[in-house]
Structure 1
Amino acid sequence: MTSTEKITFARQNELPRLPVPSLEDSCKKFLISVEPFQTPEQHQQTKQIVDRFLQNEGPQMQSDLLKYAETQKSFIEEFWDESYLLGNESVVLNLNPFFILEDEPDPERGTQLRRAANLTLASLCFIHDLRQEILEPDLFRGTPLDMYQYNRLFGLARIPTAHGCKQRLFPDSRHIVVMRKGQFYWFEAIDNNHQPLFSETELIATFRAIFRDADQVASQKDGHATLGVLSTEKRRTWYSLRSELENEAQNRRNLNMIDSALFVLCLDDHSPTDVTDLTNNVLCGTYQLEDGKQVGTCLNRWYDKLQIIVCKTGEAGVNFEHSSADGHTVLRFVGDIYTELILQFARSINPNTKSLFRAKTSPYARSLANRNKTHPVNESMMTDVQARTTPKRLEWVLDSSMLQSIQHAEMRLSDLICQNECFVLEFKGYGKRFITNHGFSPDAFVQMALQAAYYSLYGRAVPTYEPAMTKAFLRGRTETIRTVQPHTMQFVKTWTDPNATIQSKLDTLREACVGHAKLSKAAASGQGFDRHLYSLFALWRKQHASEGQSVPELFEDHGYQTLNHVVLSTSNCGNPSLRIFGFGPVVQDGFGIGYIIRDHKLTICASSKHLQTKRFLSGVEQYLYAIQRTIIDAFKAANIHQEQTYIDLAGNECDVRTGLPIRSSVASQDPNQSSKGVSYGTSGYSFYGDGAEADSESDDYIEYNPRESVGKMVFVSEYE
């Protein structure tokens, strides 16, 4: 690759369009997926409705969708965007997912200011490579994946309107917004060539100045307004309040400065005490009262943009606005910036270690400007850049009515936080290695664990959602994997049958996992049925709703409504850079479950509106140990080597208690250790991500003025 070769989007034209599945196939898959949740009488009624649909309006709706698809880059894109943008609920706990990063590889660099500086600098380098189109494109087993979502990750804002939300893109954005104790600060972070305008030391000095100023504002007798809570309101309420704010020109400039930022960095004045506290902090902020007033980190957020959150003790995470990007895209971003932190640590050992990114520090950065004797920078330009890189606090014009609205928004947010809970199971008994060594798909294995735990506790199966990535297609997002199928039901019934043999339990588990893997492959290949049926209905509604026609019978059927009341909303997302990821439940009586599968560990984050979440995770843990013993007992009987070991499918000599190779450092763990593997944490969230995407020619394209002066300048002491 040459230094000027653009590669990031070079293969977009190679991507095929998402296929529109056959109407008959989608209806058949729908009937199979809905049957486990219906009585025989209900299912017979649904079958009759499907038959009538296929004979009457269905073929015309399919024909209309096929014609529509010919004019679109993706037939689902417009309708899926609307599903995320047109709702009225708060995005907190209902939409925005979160990632929690692993700790800093070098503990000495893990302090809050230093870690915030490192993450910010790595993010700016990622943005540089993305905008210069030299960021390596995503591939899956050699197949190029759609890169469009990266254009919507930075400089994008979710804006409330009277009828839902829209997105505004600021493709030339060069500044970031920093939040501290509910106050907003901004400064320009990259130059015209997208090169970082700061060194790590300069960023630390800038953040330290923001700390001093925010602490001083917070200590004032009259207190300070924390406008971030307004972004947690229901969308129409937030639209009304935002419209009031924009009546003042100063407020309008402030909001534009926040909207147009590359991202928001939240520097929290909070030290998490455990994984519960940490998870809650990154998901929705902490709830903490002093003298009856809310002082938690829930005040230090802006949920309409990508947020990087750094705790007082250096723990860090990301809370992202979900309509613009799905988990795979944000995972690539956080994985890359975490990798850069590791390489920084490596450079402290070997200075020849290369960076992951190709961004260079801007010649206008203070640390370089005075040293560049060969190519001195323009002094007037340097003065201008230094003014724009000095942090400025946004000051608002607020009347008593708006101050009261901020107080009420905080109360409603606090209610939301108190109504939700989130716990984390960090299961260390085994992980991917054990699962694959015994011939199971890791994702399918964990999905069956969730099903077995729920069925054991409640005595029934419930509609379950897992997203499959469809980024092998142009503008691809996700398709639904419907976990509960006839083979799933056979397994959970056999597993909970006290008279079932070990072999029958393993046979039905294997059949269920194979079936789930096939469903996953079909969904990723664009052969699911959920997005297809949803698009048929959405297009019909777009064409005919104003005519007063009756909704097609299929979409009002009990079966269709039941299947789309997702009780177990699940997602498998993660790589070694992540410790935890999670989201809230999508229905009042449901769970939101995010999980990460590692070689020797499983991390499962579950949230609900107080549905015994802790007990559910305990059930998952008990199942994981029980199925491990079942697998080992069966394998021992057939492959006994000596009293304490057996030979697995890969030919490894394994410990009979753990199923791990005997040389593994964790092979000696006791599989009966139960609660030692669990740590719990309060929170909630929702995950399957797809979003809105307006073309740059649209009305939502906003020109960015990098020289606009907004806010009160904050004094920065001499850069170290």
Structure 2
Amino acid sequence: MTQISAKRQFVSVPSITGERTDGKLFGHQDKLERLPVPELEDTVAKYLRSLEPLLSESELANSKAAAKQFLESPISKTLQERLKAKAADPKVPNWLEDWWNEIAYLGYRDPVVPFVSYFFTFKDDKLRKKQTKRAAAIIRAALQFRRQLVTGELEPEAMKKQPICSYSYKYMFNACRIPKKPSDIVETYDPYANEYITVVRNNQFFSLPITRGSGAGQEYLSADELEAQLDIIKAKADSNLGVPVGVLTSDNRDNWADNRQKLIDANPKNAELLAEIERSAFLVALDSTSPVTRDELSRACWHGDGHNRFYDKPCQFIVFENGKAGFMGEHSMMDGTPTCRLSDYVAGQTLNNKVDLGVSSSGALPEPKALNFVGNSEVLKATKDAAVRFQGLIDGHDLKVLAYEGYGKTQMTKRYGYSPDAFVQMVIQLGYYKLYGRSDPTYEAATTRKFAHGRTETCRTVSNDSLAFVKTMESPTATVQDKVGAFRQAIKSHLAYMAECVEGRGVDRHILGLKLLLKPDEEKPSFFTDPALSRSCHWNLSTSQLSSEYFDGYGWSEVVPDGYGLAYMIKKDSFQVNVVCANNNQYNRNAEHLRHCLKEAASDIRSVLEAELLSREVKPKL
């Protein structure tokens, strides 16, 4: 990775709060394709095929009849033309964007933790076991990344060597989600006017400037200076009690909107203190706990204690008392790929000791500013009530990490010859089938960032071929050749569907767009009310992959009460699956049981593939 000087370079660039088309990162933005509207007949045919492994013959016949009636009706053509018109509107960069941001995120009222936000855990830094030393190095690396982003020097991400959309990067730093009724908003702020970060320790917030000097001579603080400032924050926070404002951000969004106003009404200065957190570059949480196991560290980064966070910040780096560390991301305006890139950079720079630690100045620095909120009885009651609700939610969830060291990306590709992502998707299908004896709707996130303002499409993992594969694997009479053939065909089908999704030709976003364009006075077609439609997108398994050799975990929650959240990483010689579910007995969900079955599935597939290799008497090259 390229070394970046710590010296602040002030250059004239367009405000990052607007649409940018300059520099390496944003220079391709006006050349990106627009998200297409698939042909209606193609989408319906693909949708019906996706129902086949999930429905009985009679249910499937009913769904086909509803689909046929819809395609033959005038309303289907009307809705399709409306959608095409929106897609062609030059003022609309992406026909899905406003709907998706509202429905999936900003209009969603349940707490963002545990239901929306996601986390990465970092590998241990053996050079920096002291909490504030590691935090200082992480801050330095994050500031180097931020500088490249702000100036536009950062290279854009690419797919097949073609740059993909960088628009969401504007929400990475100096941004914040703000609770509002009936729908939240997201604000972005001028990075040059807000050169500071927020640090939280013992539920208390501090504003920490990240530069010294002024004008063209302004430089980032060195790692030693940052460490000293963080030590001051720890000493101050651990000797005082403050209003635990952070826990309010853990609540239902409407509750948080109400309580935010109560906090502002309690004292006029509270509004400016909130704004200071919201405008900051990013947040660093110095936790007083010392998680040890993967499960403990994952839970600590996923949600923590509910107090020592500000869950509305898009980027929060978390460093624990024993030096372990991780990242939490607020999901509303950024999917995981940009923050995975940020976190991979930060972890890689620090763990490889490549981070530019800077040079300290001889001059004294002003102490970090304590953000001393003023509460009243109403605010304090709100924090206590929010804390009770948060703990109830967290206690109602299980998290288990499968760290499978039997093989990884190298063996999947070079020894066995399969796509690693599709490979792990079939491990998940087999593990779930082992536990429940059936296949249920499975979501895999497929990026659509090759298009302007693109986000994701749903890759429907369950297919006739995936169902045949899991049944064949569990059959006592199937041969090795039968199993390998079924596995190969399931992989092929999955890759084909994923390729369609990446090209903007999936099923779910298109159908959503059509439904949303139906006017209130228009009769709803039976195609939209067919129980199979809601059943097929009731994601019992919600899955996604983000990978880094520098991470030791990645995860988020289930998306339906009777479902699992399965975030997975595929490393060179291993892979991990983070298994999350609600732990009540109503739905028969058990994270430990699924972890066990996933491990068994991974080993079963390895045994079959090794047996097939042995039968061919081929000595493969690694």
Q: Could you state the TM-score of these two structures normalised by the residue count of structure 1?
A: 0.79
Deviation of 1:196 (Å): 4.7
**How many angstroms apart in 2 are the aligned matches of 1:410 and 1:38?**
42
Q: Which is further off, 323-332 or 628-637?
A: 628-637
**How many angstroms apart in 1 are the aligned matches of 2:170 and 2:217?**
14
Q: Higher relative CO (CA 8 A, sep ≥ 6), structure 1 or 2?
A: 1
Tell me the residue number matched to 1:304. Answer: 312
Identify the match of residue 96 of structure 2 among 53, 66, 76.
76
Q: What code does the residue aligned with 1:236 have?
A: D
Tell me the residue number matched to 2:592. Answer: 614
User: 1:195–1:515: structure 2 CA closer, same or farther, 3 Å change rule?
Assistant: farther
Identify the match of residue 539 of structure 1 among 513, 517, 540.
517
**How many angstroms apart in 1 are the aligned matches of 2:115 and 2:513?**
22
Deviation of 1:187 (Å): 2.3
Question: What is the CA RMSD across the aligned residues, in angstroms?
Answer: 2.0
Tell me the residue number matched to 1:555. Answer: 528
Q: What code does the residue aligned with 1:425 have?
A: L
SS at match of 2:52: helix
Tell me the residue number matched to 2:79. Answer: 61
Tell me the residue number matched to 2:5. Answer: none
Kindly, what percent of the aligned residue pairs are identical? 31
SS at match of 1:161: coil
User: 1:88–1:575: structure 2 CA closer, same or farther, 3 Å change rule?
Assistant: same
Deviation of 1:368 (Å): 4.1
- 5+ residue gaps, structure 1: 219-223, 286-296, 348-354, 371-382, 640-645, 653-660, 662-720
**How many angstroms apart in 2 are the aligned matches of 1:582 and 1:551?**
37
Q: What code does the residue aligned with 1:599 have?
A: K
Q: Is the 8 A contact 1:183 1:394 kept in 2?
A: yes
Tell me the residue number matched to 1:580. Answer: 553
SS at match of 2:53: helix
**How many angstroms apart in 2 are the aligned matches of 1:520 and 1:624?**
22
For the pair 1:159 / 2:178, whether they are aligned, the reply is yes
**How many angstroms apart in 1 are the aligned matches of 2:209 and 2:517?**
43
Instruction: State the Cα deviation string for residues 121-152 of structure 1 (Å, max 9, x = none).
Output: 11112111111111122122311111111111
**How many angstroms apart in 1 are the aligned matches of 2:233 and 2:60?**
62
Matches within 5 A, 1:117-128: 117-128=136-147
Q: Is the 8 A contact 2:205 2:370 kept in 1?
A: yes
For the pair 1:209 / 2:229, whether they are aligned, the reply is no
For the pair 1:325 / 2:334, whether they are aligned, the reply is yes
Tell me the residue number matched to 1:686. Answer: none
Q: What code does the residue aligned with 2:597 have?
A: G
For the pair 1:130 / 2:107, whether they are aligned, the reply is no
Deviation of 1:470 (Å): 1.4
SS at match of 2:117: coil
Instruction: State the Cα deviation string for residues 528-547 of structure 1 (Å, max 9, x = none).
Output: 1211111222233xxx23xx
Identify the match of residue 179 of structure 1 among 171, 180, 200.
200
User: 1:195–1:80: structure 2 CA closer, same or farther, 3 Å change rule?
Assistant: farther
Q: Is the 8 A contact 1:441 1:514 kept in 2?
A: no
**How many angstroms apart in 2 are the aligned matches of 1:193 and 1:21?**
51
For the pair 1:52 / 2:61, whether they are aligned, the reply is no
Tell me the residue number matched to 2:416. Answer: 438
**How many angstroms apart in 1 are the aligned matches of 2:96 and 2:506?**
12
User: 1:505–1:132: structure 2 CA closer, same or farther, 3 Å change rule?
Assistant: same
Instruction: State the Cα deviation string for residues 543-571 of structure 1 (Å, max 9, x = none).
Output: x23xx444343222101110121000001
For the pair 1:88 / 2:126, whether they are aligned, the reply is no
Q: Is the 8 A contact 1:131 1:194 kept in 2?
A: no
Tell me the residue number matched to 1:267. Answer: 286
**How many angstroms apart in 1 are the aligned matches of 2:281 and 2:339?**
14
Tell me the residue number matched to 1:225. Answer: 243
Deviation of 1:113 (Å): 0.7
Q: What code does the residue aligned with 1:313 have?
A: N
**How many angstroms apart in 2 are the aligned matches of 1:232 and 1:204?**
28
Q: Is the 8 A contact 1:182 1:226 kept in 2?
A: yes
Instruction: State the Cα deviation string for residues 615-645 of structure 1 (Å, max 9, x = none).
Output: 1111111111122111111211221xxxxxx
**How many angstroms apart in 2 are the aligned matches of 1:280 and 1:596?**
17
Q: What code does the residue aligned with 1:584 have?
A: S
For the pair 1:589 / 2:536, whether they are aligned, the reply is no
**Would you say how many aligned residue pairs link Structure 1 and Structure 2?**
588
Q: Is the 8 A contact 1:487 1:508 kept in 2?
A: yes
SS at match of 2:27: coil
Tell me the residue number matched to 2:168. Answer: 149
Q: What code does the residue aligned with 2:416 have?
A: H
Matches within 5 A, 1:467-616: 467-540=445-518, 544-545=519-520, 548-610=521-583, 611-616=589-594
Q: Could you state the TM-score of these two structures normalised by the residue count of structure 2?
A: 0.91
SS at match of 1:632: helix
User: 1:392–1:110: structure 2 CA closer, same or farther, 3 Å change rule?
Assistant: same
Q: Is the 8 A contact 1:468 1:520 kept in 2?
A: yes
Deviation of 1:369 (Å): 7.3
